[in-house]
Chain A
Amino acid sequence: MARGKITPYEVGSFSPSAVGVSQENQSGQIVSQGIAAIGKALIAREDASNTLEAMNQFGSFELAYQQKKIDLQKQYVNDPAKYPEAVRNAGLELADSMSGSMGSSSAKKFRQMTSSSLSQDVPNSMKWYFTRDSEIQVGKITSIKQNLALQASTVASAKDLEAIKVNFTKASTEATKLIDKESDTKLTEQYWKLAKTQAMSAQVFAQPMKLMRELEGGTYDKLLTPEEKLTWKNKARDAVYNRAIDDQYRTMFMAQGKLLDFQNGIENGTFTIADLVNEREAAYANRNKTDVTGKPIVSQEYIKGLDNLIDITLYAKQRVPGVKEARAASLKDFDTEWDQYLQEKKMSKQGPSEQDVEKELGMYAKLSGLYRNGDISKDDFDRHIAIMRTKLSLRQGQKARVRSFSEAIDQAGTVPTLWWRTPGNDVVSLGYQMIKSYVDTAYRELGTDERRDLKAQMLSQYHQKIQAEPEDNISKLATENERRQFASERVKGVLNEKGFRIGGIINTNVTYTEPETGKVYQIGDIGVKNGYKVRFTGKDPETGTPTWKFVPGQIVTNANGQQGLVQDDGSIKRL
C-alpha cells in the first residue's frame, strides 16, 4: 500500500426496494362465474316454470275462448257486424280473469300468448262476420225468390208468369247490391225454373186445355224454352185426356193398392181390357172360396176395384168418338139380331127348339166378346143378358116362342127324348156336359144362378171354338170316343211333350198345372216361387202363363235389393 493513500469504501450496486407486485387476485371473478352460472340456472328454471304455467293457462284460455266464440256466434247470428268486437272484448276479459291468479312473470307470458292469439284470431272473426252476413243476405234474397216461385203456383196465364219474371229481375237489381252477381244469377236460375214448374203445373192441373192451346199458339214463346214448351204441351194434353181417369185412379189406389199392377199395365199397354175382364170374372167366380186359414182368397174390395178399373178404362175408351159410335152400333146390332131372332120364331110359328141353345150361346159369346174388348160397358152387358133371360116374347102376355137363356144353359148338352131329356153324344153336347160337370164340381159354393153364369161364359167359349172348327174335322168323328176326345181336348186341354196340360177352356180360365211338380193350382191356391209364398190368381188368357201374388205378411226383396213387406191387400210396403 502506498504511503499516505487511504482505501476508499466502494459502495456496491443499489438494491431497490420495489420488487414488483403480486398478480391480480381473480378469486372474486372466478367465484362470480359460479354464482352467475347458478343464478342463470335459477333464472332459466323460473322462466321455464313460468312458461309452463302460462302455457297451461293458455290452453284453458283457448278452450274457454272457443266456447265463448260459439256462444257469441249464436248470440250474434242475426247481427254479425257486432261479433268481431264482442269476441275480442270477451277474449280480453277472459284473459284478464284468468291471469289474475297467476304470478307476475307467468301472467306476463300468459298475456303475451293471449294477445298474440287474439290478434291472430281477428281475421277469423271478420271472416265469420262476412260469411254470416252474406248468408243472411243470400237467405233474404233466397226467401224473396222462393216467395216469387211460390206465387207462381197461383199463375193463371202467361201474363201472370211474365209479371213474376219481371219481379225476379227487380229482385236481382236489389240483390246485386248485397251479394255478388254470380250468386244472384244462380239463385235466379234456380227459382225461376221452380217458378216455371209451379206455374205450368198449376195450369196443367187447373186448365189443361187452355194451356195446351196457348202453348201451341206461342203465348209462352218468350217465357219457356222449346224443350219446356214441348214437355208442358205433352203434359197438358195428357191431363186433358186422363184427368177424369186420374181422379178415379187416385181414389181407387188409396183403397186398392194391389190394382196398381193392372193400372200400370193398362197404361203401358201390357194389359188389355180383356185381361181386366177375365181377372174380374175369375175373381168374382172365386169370391166365396177360402184358403187354409179360412180367409176369403178374393176380397170384395178387390172385385170392386177391378170393376172400377174396368169402368174407368171403358169410360176413357168410350169417350173416344169412334169407340162411342161403335158401342152404339154394336148394341143396336145385338138388339136387332135378338129382335129378328124372336120375330123369326114368331113368324115361323116355332116354339122353343134345340137350335135356340146354339143361337143364344152364339149371341152370348158375341155380347161377351164386346164386353171383353171394352166395346160395351158392364152395365150394357148385364142389361142385355137380363134381356136374353127375360125377353121371351115380343108383347106382354104373348106366349114365349124361344127358350129362355137360363133354360138353354140348363138344358145344354142334353137332347130330348119322348118323355124326357138325355145327355147327347154329339161333339157339342159332350163338351157342354164336361163344362157343366166341371163347374158344378169346382164351384159348389156358388149359387145356382152364379154357376149358370159361369157355365154360360165357358159354354159360349166352347161354342165359339166349335163354330171356328172346320166342318170336316167334326164330320169325320165317327165314334163317341172320338167325339169325346175331340171335346175333351177343347174343354180340358191336351198334354204336351212335358206331360202337363195346356189349352182348354177350363185350364185357360181357372187352373194351372205346375210343370215341375205336376201340382194343379186353382185360383187362390198357395205355392212357393223363388222362395216366397205366392197365391195363384189366374192365367194370362193370351199367353197362358199363370199369374201369382205374394202371400201377405212376408218380406220380399226385388232385383234391386230393396225389401218390402207384403200387405193384406197384396201391396208391398217398402222397408
Chain B
Amino acid sequence: MASNYGKLLFGGANIFGGISSFMSSREQASLLEEQGALTKDDYYRQAALVRESGQRTRAKQTMEYISSGVEIVGTPQLMLKETISKSLAQAGALEVTGRNYERLYSRKSRTTESQGMSQLITSILETGALLI
C-alpha cells in the first residue's frame, strides 16, 4: 500500500512537471512570436528609411545636374535610375531579412510549444507506465 502511495505521489509530481513545462513552453512561444514581429518591424522601418534615402539622393542628384546645366537625359538619367534601383534593392533586402526573422521566430515558437506539449504527454505516459 505504501508503495502505491509512493507511485501516486511520484506520478502526480511527474504530471505537474509536465503541465509546468507545457505552460512555460507556451509562454516562451508567445515571446518568440512577439520577438519575431518586432524584428520584422525593425527591418521594415530600416527598409523604408533606405527607400526614402534613395529618393532624397535622386532628388539631390537631379538638382545638382539641373544646377550644373545638365539635361537629364542620357547618363544623368541612367545615374538617377540607378540610384533609385539601388535604394529599392537595399530596402527590399532588408524587408526580406525582416520577414525571414519573423518566420524563424515563428518556427522557434512552434517548436517550443510543441516540445512543451510533448513534455506534458510524456509526463502522462510515464505516470501511466509507473502505475501499470
Cα–Cα distance between A27 and B129 once the two chains are bound (Å) = 19
Q: Are A34 and B122 in contact (CB under 8 A)?
A: yes
In the complex, A37 Cα to B57 Cα: how many Å? 67
> Do residues A42 and B132 form an inter-chain contact, with CB atoms below 8 A?
yes
For A25, what are the chain B residues with a Cβ–Cβ distance below 8 Å? 110-111, 114-115
A34 to B120, CA, bound (A): 10
Is B100's CB under 8 angstroms from A19's CB? yes
- Bound-state CA distance A366–B81 (Å) is 190
Q: Which residues of B contact A38 (CB under 8 A)?
A: 125-126, 128-129, 132
CB pair A34 B125 closer than 8 Å: yes
Taking a contact as CB atoms under 8 Å apart, the answer to whether B50 and A12 are in contact is yes
Q: In whole angstroms, how far apart are the Cα atoms of A292 and B114 in the complex?
A: 121
Taking CB as reference atom, which chain B residue is nearest A5? B64
**Number of A-B residue pairs at CB separation under 8 A:** 102
A34 touches B64 (CB 8 A): no
Q: Are B50 and A27 in contact (CB under 8 A)?
A: no
Of residues 141 through 163 on chain A, the ones whose CB sits less than 8 Å from some CB of chain B are none
Residue A30 CB within 8 A of the other chain: yes
Interface size, B (range)? 35 or more
Taking the closest CB of chain A, its distance from the CB of B111, in whole angstroms, is 4
A31 (CB) vs chain B CBs: closest residue: B118
A22 to B57 CA separation, bound complex (whole angstroms): 38
Instruction: Using known A-B contacts A18-B100, A19-B104, determine if residue A7 contacts B115 with beta carbons closer than 8 Å.
Output: no
Contact mask B95-130 → A, CB, 8 Å, 1/0?
A: 011001100100110110011011101111110111
A27-B83 Cα distance, complex, nearest whole Å: 49
User: B6: shortest Cβ distance to chain A, in Å?
Assistant: 16
Q: Is the CB of A9 within 8 A of B132?
A: no
**Once the chains bind, are B61 and A11 in contact (CB under 8 Å)?**
no
Contact A15 to B90, CB < 8 A, known contacts A23-B111, A27-B118, A38-B125 = yes
| Cα A148 to Cα B76 with chains together (Å) | 149
Q: Which of A6, A39, A41, A42 has the most CB of B within 10 A?
A: A6
* B107 and A17 contacting across the interface, CB-CB below 8 Å: no
Which residue in B94, B97, B117 is a CB contact (below 8 Å) of A27?
B117
Tell me if A442 counts as interface (CB < 8 A to partner B): no
Whether A9 and B54, one on each chain, are in contact in the complex, defined by CB atoms closer than 8 angstroms, is yes
A392-427 contact mask (Cβ, 8 Å, vs B): 1 or 0: 000000000000000000000000000000000000
Residue of A nearest to B106 (CB): A22
Task: Answer yes or no: A21 CB below 8 A from chain B CBs.
Answer: yes
Chain B residue contacts of A34, Cβ below 8 A: 121-126, 129
Known contacts A5-B64, A6-B65; A30/B122 CB under 8 A: yes
Min CB distance, B70 to chain A, in Å? 9
CB pair A33–B122 under 8 Å, yes or no, is yes
B106: min CB distance to chain A, Å: 9
Give chain A residues whose Cβ lies under 8 Å from the Cβ of B93.
14-15, 17
Cβ-based interface call for A1 (8 A): yes
Shortest Cβ distance from residue B61 to the other chain A in the assembled complex, whole angstroms? 6
Interface membership of B71, Cβ < 8 A: no
A228 to chain B, nearest CB (A): 79
Q: Mark B20-51, 1 if CB is under 8 A from A, else 0.
A: 00000000000000000000000100000010
Q: Which residues of B contact A (CB under 8 A)?
A: 43, 50, 54, 57-58, 60-61, 64-65, 68, 76, 79, 82-83, 86-87, 90, 93-94, 96-97, 100-101, 104, 107-108, 110-111, 114-115, 117-119, 121-126, 128-130, 132
14 extra interchain contacts, Cβ-Cβ under 8 A, other than A9-B54, A12-B90, A37-B129?
A6-B79, A9-B61, A17-B96, A22-B111, A25-B110, A26-B115, A27-B111, A33-B122, A34-B122, A34-B123, A34-B124, A34-B126, A37-B122, A38-B125
A-B contact pairs, 20 of them (CB 8 A): A6-B76, A6-B79, A7-B57, A9-B54, A12-B90, A17-B93, A17-B96, A18-B100, A22-B108, A26-B118, A27-B118, A30-B122, A31-B122, A34-B126, A37-B122, A37-B125, A37-B126, A38-B125, A38-B129, A38-B132
What are the 4 A-B residue pairs with the smallest beta carbon separation, nearest first?
A34-B125, A34-B122, A41-B129, A27-B118
